[in-house]
Amino acid sequence: MTFRNTGCADHHVCFSAAYPTHELEHWIGIVSSALIKYDPRGFHGRIPAEPHNLTERVTPDEKTIVLCHMGVPILDERNWTLGVGGMVRNPLSLTLSEIKAFPKAELTTVHQCAGSPVDPERPTQRVCNTTLGGARLRDVLDRAGVEAGAAFVWSEGFDSGSFREFECGPYIKDIGLDRVDRDVLIAYEMNGQPLSHEHGYPARLFIPGYYGTNSVKWLRTITLASSRVASPFTTKWYTDFDETGARTVPVWSIAPQSVVVSPTPRQNIKQNTAHDIWGWAWGDEELASVQVSIDKGQTWHDCKLEPRSGHAWQRFECNLTFAQPGLFTIKSRARSISGAVQPEEGRRNAIYSVPVNIVP
């Protein structure tokens, strides 16, 4: 099945024309895209903090990343509802107040951009660690009653339009239904405050351990389906080749990654003096270790890694002495319990390096 642009004025009708009606028959809460205001319109991004600025365990709002493919919809919760349909026994149309009536869950978790969808091998350190509050998607789906045979959850946002000169229709992603049991949220708060428009107000999906592209903002519908959705953001972009190079796989789980926070780039460090090196490490899979190198990867030193807490990033630290003066590069690499390790280059989780000046 391929996505096609039908030329419709209403993107929801366009999307319905491109997919089987039996997958969409329970979709509700449909509003014409012509009624949606954007500020701004088109691609919008802000990356306010470099790795050495990420000194707080919980990233404050002014340092959190903002990346929007097609603009920022300005929605009003007074006339907003979230539709839950597809392969469910009891389709729902939920107001924000009704979502807030579900038991509230709070979690602190890494939020990382997967990088450029047109240059997926370029490494990215677009990351933050935030506290989200909201309703568990599992609780909402239990009320809707998931039918036998459902295997995937489609999430659609109110944002639509073009990206990279390609007409995309609505922004829509999917995850496996089996992932829902792991604290997936319909979030309406970030760091104790209501979501801003940039971050998905009034509600967004949040999937701990998955790259940010999967955590759809400005939620419009949640749909249960028997198969994956074929939208531009699941087929044209955000897919990687597997290890064999023979087939593509979705960009879902965050690969093991780490960044050095201190020392900072070009910092002067005294020769023959022990110096603390610390940073953050994270990944969907539990981490086994983090190591640091100061000799271009010839020798790696084990770091102390704090215990894992959900999908929040973990602090690592070690104490090393630079015996010679000159320009050195500090590298860190994380390894998962299954043996996956950060590569030197060519992947979005490639090793991050920090140049420092060692002075006599």
In the predicted model, what is the mean pLDDT of the chain? 85
Confidence of residue 251 (pLDDT cuts 50, 70, 90): confident
What class does CATH assign to 11-250? alpha beta
Q: How far apart are CA 145 and CA 334, in angstroms?
A: 40
What is the phi/psi pair of residue 71, to 5°? 115, 180
Q: Are 86 and 224 in contact (CB under 8 A)?
A: yes
47, 56 contact by CB (below 8 A)? no
Question: Does domain 257-359 match CATH 2.60.40.650?
Answer: yes
What pTM value is reported for the model?
A: 0.85
* % of the chain surpassing 90 pLDDT: 63
Low-confidence winner among 37-51, 70-84, 91-105, 280-294 (lowest mean pLDDT): 37-51
Give φ, ψ of 77 to 5 degrees. -60, -20
Spatial distance between the Cα atoms of 109 and 130, rounded to a whole number of angstroms: 6
Q: Both tokens of residue 290? A: 């983090």
Q: What is the pLDDT of residue 237?
A: 73
pLDDT of the residue at 243: 67
Q: Are 24 and 46 in contact (CB under 8 A)?
A: no
Sheet of 287-293: strand order equals 268-270, 352-359, 326-336, 287-293, 301-302
Question: What is the tens place of the pLDDT at every residue in 183-203?
Answer: 999 999 999 999 999 899 999
Instruction: Give CA 62 to chain center in angstroms.
Output: 18
Give the separation between CA 32 and CA 44, rounded to whole angstroms.
Answer: 22
Domain ranges of the chain: 11-250, 257-359
- Does residue 356 have a pLDDT over 60? yes
Tokens of 81: 């509802």
Give me the half-sphere count of Cα atoms (radius 13 Å) on the Cβ side of residue 310.
18
What tokens were used for 46?
A: 């802000």
CB atoms inside a 10 Å sphere around CB 165: 5
pLDDT tier at 170, thresholds 50, 70, 90? confident
